[in-house]
A and B are shown apart, each in its own frame.
Chain A
Amino acid sequence: MAYIRFEHINKYFGENHVLKDINLDIEREQLVTLLGPSGCGKSTLLRCLSGLERITSGRIFMDGTDITDIDPRDRNIGMVFQQYSLFPNMNVAENIAFGLRMKKLGKNDIAKKVSEVIGMVELSGKEKAYPANLSGGQQQRVALARAIVTRPKVLLLDEPLSAIDAKLRRSLQQSIKRIQSELGITSIFVTHDQDEAMVMSDRIHLFHNGEIEQSDSPISIYTNPRTKFAAEFIGHYNIITAAQFHKITGGTDTVSENVAIRPEAMEISLTPHEKKENSYQFQGIIINHLSHGNVLRYNVEVSGISLEVDVLFRSFYLYENGQTIFISVEHRNCLPV
């Protein structure tokens, strides 16, 4: 059996059906992300696993044991919260030592483990500082240290980086990933930021309205979204109706309502492309462009339909507004959703 298993999980908040018959397996030592917009149920599922929320029906198994009815404090699960939740009346070392004190370890033992884990999160020297004097990033690292020092079986992270500014977020993402793989702790990460999910996870579970829309590796979910919602949420897909697709490409193989095309999957050039069996080719007009750092995003009109095309900023050449350009996209990159 998988290391963590959710079986037929249903959760109601009053009348609200927040988790709809969730079945999910998580393998050992993996870092898995629950991804989705606000209110989709991902945090709720995490909190059900932690025991802080009770499920309405279903069972949860961890390492072979049914933990559905076990108290949160006996589940041996570590958790990092969005608002850090560090104890304000204790300094960094005391915060981290808390879980070890609950396990009634000896003073020397505790001191050793605490300093070991402070080194891991790169906060050496800050043992006596109080949370109020630490930056957001530092506080979150303390929270992480506090959660892992007891070597829990599972580590849960509930949008831990949402309150932290973008630049710092990158380095914290790296730290979390590094520590997770060093310690080999099975971890579940919740976020609404799909870039973050792509960077962190071994596997992504996309949530939508209390159900799992798609479960895949980051690359697969990115290149092969299976539904319209998935295509809209992950990446920056162009989503057009089947009729529009037909109009642009003359393509007849449309099995679904919509077609999703990744902006970077389309090649553009000033001259027509070599005819290829496996590609659609058509013309369009540049409307305008936006620069996104190393990517130029062109707004292109094709047969009256607006498309976005991403081009890596490799040369200094900029297509001008109003220019006619030729576009080529492989069949397999036009996904039915």
Chain B
Amino acid sequence: MKKSRASKGTILIISLYLVMPLLLTFLYSIFTEWNEVLPNGLTLKYYKEILLDKYFLTSVLRTMLISAIPFILCTSVVLLALYVIIVYHPGWDKYMQMLCNIPYALQGIILAISVLSLYVGAPYPLSNRFVMVVLTYCIVILPYIYRGLKNSLDTVNAKCLIEAAQMLGANRFYAFFKVIVPNILSGISIVAMLSISIVFGDFAIINIIGGSYYQTAQMYLYKKLFSSGQASSVIIVVMFGLTLILSGIVNILNKKKVRNRED
């Protein structure tokens, strides 16, 4: 049918446009020079160079740390707040929603400078750069975590389940954390991927607040950007690969969970 051919065409064109820069970056990383239209010298030496660089590895580790900690922290904080709201004060939900939507408007730089200027002269531990970065990231990913958890909660019909658990002898705390939470955590894996990739890809906050105090992979990349093109492209490929692996793992976990249920 003509329609599906046209749609296939559009999809292909857009996909090509989107994939091309990625592809090029990858190609750039495996050739020694590219000063003319076609590159020269297929090699993996840049990969060896970067992957064995101690500074790079530690910066990647730092990136992972700085992605994982806010995610765990923010999820716990939101779950606890949702416990109070769902079980005791459903009317407060609209306020929580408002508070969780504000960060959408506080994109990167605005939040970064706000936090920095406020806490840079403050007493320890508030002035610690690591603390600032982690807590700022918590706010950055807050809308996504709230939305993801809330959606799962709505599908699970939390109020009814808690009542059923109460009639069976459970107190509400147990009911929430042993009955409701396991059911919404499956929804959290998608949110996990989203939040971690947001933090992975952030530059504004880490550059402005972290600066030279806490060098993550993005900062490392920026430094290399002007020295070696090939090295930079390797870093990009590696980091991108990590993000892909992460989302791949989450997808597999999701599919496994669904398959288990359907047995």
A and B touch in the complex (CB under 8 A): yes
Which A residues lie at the B interface, using CB under 8 A? Answer: 50-52, 71-74, 77-79, 81, 83, 85-89, 98-99, 102-103, 130, 132-133, 146-147, 150
- Per a CB cutoff under 8 Å, which of A83, A103, A130 touches B160? A83
Task: Give the interface centre of B160, B164, B165, B262 by most chain A CB atoms within 10 Å.
Answer: B164
Expressed in whole angstroms, the Cα–Cα distance for A327 and B167 within the complex equals 55
**How distant is B206 from chain A, measured CB to nearest CB, in Å?**
37
On whether the beta carbons of A83 and B168 are closer than 8 Å, the reply is: no
**In this complex, what residue of A is CB-closest to B260?**
A130
Question: Which of B160, B168, B182, B183 is A73 in contact with, Cβ under 8 Å?
Answer: B168
> With contacts A73-B169, A73-B171, A150-B168 known, is A81 near B163, CB below 8 A?
yes
Contacting pair A85 B171 (CB below 8 A)? no
Give which listed residue, B167, B179, B261, contacts A130 with CB less than 8 A: B261
Main secondary structure of the interface of B (DSSP, over half): helix
Return the 8 tightest CB-CB contacts between A and B, nearest first: A102-B169, A99-B168, A85-B164, A79-B167, A85-B160, A89-B182, A72-B166, A73-B169
New contact pairs (5) apart from A85-B163, A102-B169, CB-CB < 8 Å: A81-B160, A81-B163, A102-B170, A130-B261, A147-B168
Residues of A within 8 A of B156 (CB): 88
Cα A88 to Cα B182 in complex, Å, equals 9
From known contacts A85-B160, A88-B156, infer whether A98 and B168 are also in contact, taking CB-CB under 8 Å: yes
B161 CB–A CB distance under 8 Å: yes
A73 in contact with B166 (CB, 8 Å): yes
> Please, how many angstroms separate the alpha-carbon atoms of A103 and B169 in the complex?
7
Chain A positions within 8 Å of B166 at CB level = 51-52, 72-73
Q: Which residues of B139-176 have CB atoms within 8 Å of chain A's CB atoms?
A: 156-157, 160-161, 163-171
CB distance from A67 to the nearest CB of B (A): 13
Given A130-B261, A133-B262: A83 and B157 within 8 A (CB)?
yes
Docked Cα-Cα span, A87 to B181, in Å, equals: 11
**Which residues of B have CB within 8 Å of A73?**
166-171
> How far apart sit A72 and B171, CA to CA, in the bound complex (Å)?
9
In the complex, residue of chain A having the shortest beta-carbon distance to the beta carbon of B170: A102
Residues of B within 8 A of A (CB): 156-157, 160-161, 163-171, 179, 182-183, 261-262
Could you say which of A78, A86, A87, A88 contacts B167, with CB atoms under 8 Å apart? A78
**Contact (Cβ within 8 A) A98 B165:** yes
Checking B164, B182, B183, B261 against A81 with a beta-carbon cut-off of 8 angstroms, the contacting residue is B164
Task: Report how many A-B pairs have Cβ atoms within 8 Å.
Answer: 62
Query: A79 near B169 (CB under 8 angstroms)?
Result: no
Assembly CA distance A150 to B164 (angstroms): 14
**Complex Cα gap A81–B164 (Å):** 8
Known contacts A130-B261, A133-B262: does B167 contact A147 (CB below 8 Å)?
Answer: yes
With both beta carbons as reference points, the residue of chain B lying nearest to A50 in the complex is identified as B167
B163 touching A52 by the CB < 8 A rule? yes
Q: Give min CB distance, B11 to chain A, whole Å.
A: 34
Kindly state the separation between the CA atoms of A130 and B263 in the bound complex, as whole angstroms: 8
B167's nearest neighbour on chain A, judged by CB, is A79
In the bound complex, residues from chain A placing their C-beta under 8 Å from that of B160 are: 81, 83, 85
List 17 contacting pairs A-B, 8 Å CB cutoff, sorted by A: A50-B167, A52-B163, A71-B171, A72-B166, A73-B167, A73-B168, A79-B167, A81-B164, A83-B157, A83-B160, A87-B165, A87-B179, A89-B179, A89-B182, A89-B183, A103-B169, A150-B169
A71 to B166, CA, bound (A): 9
CA distance A130 to B261 in the complex (A): 7
Roughly how many angstroms separate A51 CA and B183 CA in the complex, as a whole number? 25
Q: Are the C-beta atoms of A88 and B183 separated by less than 8 Å?
A: yes
CA gap between A133 and B258 in the complex, in Å: 12
Q: Which residue of A lies closest to B163 (CB)?
A: A52
- A50 / chain B contacts, CB cutoff of 8 Å: 167
Report the minimum CB–CB distance from B19 to chain A (whole Å): 38
Write out the residue numbers on chain A whose beta carbons fall within 8 Å of the beta carbon of B163: 52, 72, 79, 81, 85
Which residues from B are CB-within-8-Å of A52?
163, 166-167
List B contacts of A77 (CB < 8 A). Answer: 167
Chain B nearest CB: distance from A118 CB in Å? 16
Q: Which B residues lie within 8 Å of A71 (CB)?
A: 171
Chain B residues contacting A146 (CB-CB under 8 Å) are 168
Q: Closest Cβ of chain B: how far from A302's Cβ, in Å?
A: 51
The answer to whether A85 touches B169, judged by C-beta atoms less than 8 angstroms apart, is: no
B residues near A99, Cβ cutoff 8 Å:
168-169
> Which A residues are in CB contact (< 8 Å) with B171?
71, 73
- Which chain B residue has the least Cβ–Cβ distance from A146? B168
B189 to chain A, nearest CB (A): 14
Whole-angstrom distance between the alpha carbons of A50 and B165 in the complex? 12
With a CB–CB cut-off of 8 A, which chain B residues contact A78?
A: 167-168
Q: Separation in Å of the B176 CB from the closest CB of chain A?
A: 12
Residues of B with C-beta under 8 A to A133: 261-262
Q: How far is the CA of A78 from the CA of B168 in the complex (A)?
A: 7
Closest to A83 in B: B160
Question: Across the two chains, which residue of chain A brings its CB closest to B175?
Answer: A73
A71 to B167, CA, bound (A): 9
Interface centre among A72, A78, A83, A133 (most CB of B within 10 A): A72
